């Protein structure tokens, strides 16, 4: 097997050791799925992105793996991949296109931000499962379900102070989904956190794909097309948001922490 270059990138941040870390592995062709999963488990980051060029231009195939499984959509690792292609490999295009299991995704460089064009995934209002209330220790104002559960709370203080009970929440079997908790922000339009029951990394630092559900909700509630969001994990991350209707724009910065060769 030939050498493959990889990059460790922190996404949705402009400085190292914050935001959400991802590994980006550059491949010439696809390797066996079992090997990709082993690599993702070895990196042991929230996500590892594997990218293969399609035509030598600005089109690529892209897949994402957690340490346990392949995901259907990942924002921060897509942002990290685009950052590598633009800034490490100097692809001189205004926009990159990625073929994925969630369709064609694009990333455009505008000013100092990279903008993801992702599908909108509004949640449907549902009754809150008792295990969620018990596991989070707070009663939400409303609960929605898409790929993820989204629990809406009164204010930012509640989101900051949540101390989820891993044992209780791990009773939920959500597949690729997780638990979004969100509230109006004090200095931004809205804040959130994201938990993944059953996963080795329980709290995701910054979750781009969750904003496919957060953006349509907050855009409708605030009557705003463009918004600024912040994910209140210990590492933290800032997300610029645009509601396009059937699509959402998710903007952020990224920084390379180190490079290596497999």
With bands split at pLDDT 50, 70 and 90, how would you rate the model's confidence at 111?
Answer: very high
Q: Is the pLDDT of residue 1 over 60?
A: no
Q: Which residues contact 107 (CB under 8 A, 6 or more apart)?
A: 78, 79, 81, 82, 95, 96, 98, 114, 115, 116, 117
The mean pLDDT value of the chain amounts to 95
Q: Which fold has domain 5-120+250-261?
A: Diaminopimelate Epimerase; Chain A, domain 1 (3.10.310)
Residue with tokens 């203080």: 157
Q: Taking residues 160-174, what's their average pLDDT? A: 91
State how beta strands 20-26 and 5-11 pair.
antiparallel
- DSSP letters, 110-143, are ETTEEEEEEE--PPEE-PPPHHHHHHHSS--SEE
What percent of the chain lies above the pLDDT cut of 90? Answer: 93
pLDDT in tens, 60-108: 999 999 999 999 999 999 999 999 999 999 999 999 999 999 999 999 9
> Could you give the dihedral angle defined by the CA atoms of residues 126, 131, 134 and 139, in that order, rounded to the nearest 10 degrees?
0
What percent of the chain lies above the pLDDT cut of 70? Answer: 99
Look at residue 186 in the predicted model and tell me its pLDDT. Answer: 97
Look at residue 25 in the predicted model and tell me its pLDDT. Answer: 98
Contact predicate 145/139, CB 8 Å? no
Q: pTM for the full model? A: 0.94
Enumerate the active-site residues: 47
Q: Is the pLDDT of residue 176 over 80?
A: no
Residue 254 CA, distance from chain mean position: 13
Residue ranges, comma separated, of all CATH 3.10.310.10 domains in the chain are 5-120+250-261, 124-242
With bands split at pLDDT 50, 70 and 90, how would you rate the model's confidence at 173?
Answer: confident
DSSP 16: T
Alpha-carbon span 156 to 161, nearest angstrom = 9
pLDDT in tens, 2-26: 789 999 999 999 999 999 999 999 9
Look at residue 174 in the predicted model and tell me its pLDDT. Answer: 74
Alpha-carbon span 43 to 252, nearest angstrom = 23
Domain 124-242: give its CATH superfamily: Diaminopimelate Epimerase; Chain A, domain 1 (3.10.310.10)
Q: Is the pLDDT of residue 35 over 60?
A: yes
Contact predicate 217/241, CB 8 Å? no
Q: Is the pLDDT of residue 261 over 80?
A: yes
Q: Taking residues 208-236, what's their average pLDDT? A: 97
Alpha-carbon span 100 to 258, nearest angstrom = 26
Q: Taking residues 209-220, what's their average pLDDT? A: 98
Look at residue 205 in the predicted model and tell me its pLDDT. Answer: 97
Alpha-carbon span 182 to 184, nearest angstrom = 7
Look at residue 55 in the predicted model and tell me its pLDDT. Answer: 82
Measure the CA angle with vertex 177, ends 180 and 96; round to 5°. 90
If one compares 177 and 237, the residue with the highest pLDDT of the two is 237
């Amino acid at each position: 097997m030939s050498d493959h270059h990889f990059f460790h990138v922190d996404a949705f941040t402009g400085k190292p050791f914050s935001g959400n870390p991802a590994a980006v592995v550059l491949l010439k062709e696809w390797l066996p799925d079992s090997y990709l999963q082993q690599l993702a488990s070895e990196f042991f980051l929230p996500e590892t992105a594997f990218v293969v060029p399609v035509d030598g231009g600005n089109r690529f195939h892209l897949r994402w793996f957690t340490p346990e499984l392949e995901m259907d959509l990942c924002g921060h690792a897509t942002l990290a991949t685009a950052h590598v292609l633009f800034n490490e490999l100097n692809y001189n295009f205004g926009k990159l296109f990625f073929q994925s299991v969630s369709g064609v995704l694009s990333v455009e460089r505008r000013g100092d931000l990279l903008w993801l064009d992702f599908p909108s995934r509004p949640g449907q209002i549902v009754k809150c499962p008792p295990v969620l209330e018990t596991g989070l220790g707070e009663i939400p104002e409303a609960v929605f379900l898409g790929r993820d559960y989204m629990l809406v709370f009164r204010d930012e203080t509640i989101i900051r102070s949540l101390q989820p009970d891993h044992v209780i929440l791990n009773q939920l079997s959500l597949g690729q989904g997780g638990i979004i908790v969100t509230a109006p922000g004090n200095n931004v339009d809205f804040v959130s956190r994201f938990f993944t029951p059953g996963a080795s990394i329980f709290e995701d630092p910054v979750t781009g794909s969750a904003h496919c559900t957060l953006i349509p909700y907050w855009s409708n509630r605030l009557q705003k097309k463009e918004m600024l969001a912040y994910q209140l994990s210990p590492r933290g991350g800032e997300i610029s948001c645009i509601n396009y209707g059937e699509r959402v724009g998710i903007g952020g910065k990224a920084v390379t922490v180190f490079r290596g060769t497999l």
